Amino acid sequence: MSNQHVSMQGMWSSRAVFVMAAVGSAVGLGNIWKFPYITGEYGGGAFVAVYLACIALIGIPIMMAEILLGRRGRASPIITMRTLAREEGASPAWSVVGYSGVVAGFLILSFYSVIAGWALAYVFQTASGGLNQVSAEGAASLFGDLVGSPGQLMVWHSVFMLMTVVVVARGVRYGIERAVTILMPLLFVMLVIMVAYAAVEGDFARGFDFLFNTDFARVFQLCTGPAEDLQCSFSGEPLLVAMGHAFFTLSLGMGAIMAYGAYVPEHASITGATITIALADTVVALLAGLAIFPIVFASGLEPSAGPGLIFQTLPIAFGNMPGGQWFGTVFFLLLVFAAWSSSISIAEPAVAWLVESRRWRRSVAAVMVGGLAWFIGIGSVLSFNYWSGEEYQLFGKTLFDLKDFLASNIMLPLGGLLIALFVAFGAGRRMALEELAISRQRLFDAWWFVIRYVSPLGIAIVFLNSIGVF
């Protein structure tokens, strides 16, 4: 390995810490509600199999590429891409990959903090007994009162952003590393507790069957209409959803993984770490499904409620089950921890760039990034109340929806696509060989083929579908 660059931000103390940090980046609110929800909608266990294939063919290869770029450049994504493009004799225009990732992450942080604030509010609501014996109408009213109140949303948005800034300001070793080494083990412990609770108090057999029952005939069918008159037709939508979720759940294309890769020790195996991260991320999603669906079925609730499954449906279950107050509090704490570990990684690329390019103190850079994201997030807060009307919408979307669409559906897929193209065509085989240090040539050749052809094609399909080309 011929890497002469040194990170200004410090290094992870071990490969295990890097894996925990990257898992923390990947595991977020989407793992807890979105994965179980789309799994149930698109074929159960068959969808899980397709999703895992997408993780293998798109997620893992792109993550390996992003980590190797980060470790090679040892800097923030913007400086890393500029430096590596120069060293590899490629066009300086490749630095747009770094800028795109930082901007996308910044946009995501500005609205992610608002949603995480919901989870924070529900921790206190549940712990205080506010959900005890709550009815469906009561749960809907509680959620409506929360999102309809700019004051409440601003308070929780501010508290969560402050939590993120405090950790990032303390640096790699004393801030991010210490946080993830506490948060990630706690997250897994709480998930296991919730699964055990679901096994005792919920309809675990039905929930398990719902999550893992394999029906490959249905995974490529889109069914609509009532159960007694279900209309099904062939559709590639489930495959596109699986590819999209595999890409986004690993935090690819937003600079977070590249920034974290800059702090990876030289002796650490990128291949092994990437596979471990992908497995951990998938395990969290599956455990979340095993924790949620048995409770939903035991309570006679609708499993395909989407976002409402967390903030409107589950509170009914927790409020009317034995021990629900305590376990509901644990569940919403789990949501907060998952969101917190992700938001830390989202803020890091922009903070690292300010420290390296402007020579700002890390604490000042963290406050600046968090403060600006907080300010832009005010628009997301108002999108749920004062600015929710059509007169405040652009292209039929509220400001919240527009930021989400731009970051998640356009900037992240393009960032991932450009990462693959730069590694495969802009830089070339030598750099990848040196950084990955894969001893088995056939294994490297397989990854090289996937990163040059399979992954770019898959990402292009997801991107074109997201913007409505087909």
pLDDT band at 219 (very low <50, low <70, confident <90, very high): low
Q: 69-73, 106-110, 182-186, 239-243: which range is least confident on average?
A: 239-243
Please tell me the pTM assigned to this model: 0.89
Residue 223: what are its φ and ψ, rounded to 5°?
Answer: -110, 135
pLDDT value at 2 more than 60: no
Q: Please, what is the Cα angle at 18 between 110 and 90, to 5 degrees? A: 75
Q: What is the pLDDT of residue 306?
A: 61
Distance in angstroms (rounded) separating the CA atoms of residues 186 and 274: 21
Band (pLDDT 50/70/90 cuts) for residue 233 is: low
pLDDT bin (cut points 50, 70, 90) of residue 68 is: very high
Lookup result for tokens 């652009």 = 394
Residue 468 has pLDDT above 90, yes or no: no
Max avg pLDDT among 230-234, 332-336, 464-468: 332-336
Question: For the chain, what percent of residues have pLDDT higher than 90?
Answer: 43
Pairing of strands 221-224, 231-234: antiparallel
**What CA–CA distance (Å, rounded) separates 366 from 355?**
9
* Contact residues for 117 (Cβ-Cβ < 8 A; gap 6+): 153, 155, 156, 157, 159, 160
Does pLDDT of 465 surpass 90?
Answer: no
| C-alpha to C-alpha distance for 470 and 461, rounded to whole angstroms | 9
Phi, psi values for residue 221, rounded to 5°: -115, 140
Q: What is the DSSP letter of 254?
A: S
pLDDT at 293 over 90: no
At residue 261, does pLDDT exceed 70?
yes
Report pLDDT for 171: 87
DSSP letter for each residue of 255-271:
SHHHHHHTTS-TTS-HH
Q: Name residue, tokens 């959900």.
A: 131
Per-residue pLDDT averaged across 109-137, rounded? 92
- CA 438 to CA 196: how far, in whole Å? 40
pLDDT at 1: 47
Q: Which amino acid is at 206?
A: R
Write the DSSP assignment of 207-241 as a string of letters.
HHHHHH-B-HHHHTEEEES-GGG-EEEE-SHHHHH
Q: For position 447, what pLDDT does the model report?
A: 94
Q: Is pLDDT above 50 for 84?
A: yes
Query: According to the model, what pLDDT value does residue 236 have?
Result: 65
Q: Mean pLDDT lowest for which of 227-236, 399-408, 411-420?
A: 227-236
Question: Measured between alpha carbons, how far is residue 259 from residues 66, 198, 344 in Å?
Answer: 9, 37, 11
Confidence bin at 449 (pLDDT 50/70/90): very high
Q: How many other C-beta atoms lie within 10 A of the C-beta of residue 241?
A: 20
- Residue 459 pLDDT: 83
Q: Is the pLDDT confidence value at 120 over 90? A: yes
**Least confident span in 2-6, 199-203, 408-412, 426-430:** 2-6
What's the rounded mean pLDDT across residues 283-296?
Answer: 88
Q: pLDDT grade, residue 51 (50/70/90)?
A: confident
Distance CA(127)–CA(58), nearest Å, equals: 41
Cβ-in-10-Å burial (0-12, 13-18, 19+) of 221 comes to middle
Residue 208 tokens, joined: 């398990």
| Average pLDDT rounded to a whole number, residues 357-385 | 94
Residue 343's pLDDT band (cuts 50, 70, 90): very high
Tell me if 428 sits within 8 A of 88, measured CB to CB.
Answer: yes
Domain 15-466 -> CATH class = mainly alpha
Query: Contact 161/376 with Cβ under 8 angstroms?
Result: no
Rounded to the nearest angstrom, the gap between the alpha carbon of residue 83 and the centroid of all alpha carbons in its chain is 28
At 15 the pLDDT is 84
Q: Which residue is associated with the tokens 């011929």?
A: 2
pLDDT of residue 16: 87
**Contact partners, residue 44, CB within 8 Å, separation at least 6:** 209, 210, 211, 212, 213, 214, 215, 218
> How many DSSP H helices and E strands does the chain contain?
25, 2
Gap between the Cα atoms of 37 and 304, Å rounded: 6
Looking at per-residue pLDDT, the higher value among 322 and 431 belongs to 431
Q: How confident is the model at residue 83 (pLDDT cuts 50, 70, 90)?
A: very high
Instruction: Quickly state the pLDDT bin for 469 (edges 50, 70, 90).
Output: low
First to last CA, the chain: 43
Say how far apart CA 102 and CA 95 lie, in whole Å.
11
Lowest average pLDDT, out of 70-84, 143-157, 161-175, 286-300, goes to 286-300
What CA dihedral angle connects 158, 160, 161 and 164, to 10 degrees?
Answer: 160
Which residue type occupies 288?
Answer: A
Has residue 282 got a pLDDT over 80? yes
* pLDDT for the residue numbered 60: 93
Rounded Cα–Cα distance for residues 38 and 41 (Å): 5
How crowded is the C-beta side of 318, counted as CA atoms within 13 Å? 28
What does the longest C-alpha to C-alpha distance in the chain come to? 66
Lowest mean pLDDT among 74-88, 194-208, 392-406, 413-427: 392-406
Q: What is the arithmetic mean of pLDDT over 410-419?
A: 88
Lowest mean pLDDT among 79-83, 158-162, 236-240, 334-338: 236-240
Stretch 11-25: mean pLDDT, rounded?
Answer: 88
Dihedral angle computed from the Cα positions of residues 402, 405, 410 and 416, in that order, rounded to the nearest 10 degrees: 130
For residue 227, the model assigns a pLDDT of 46
List the domain boundaries for the chain. 15-466
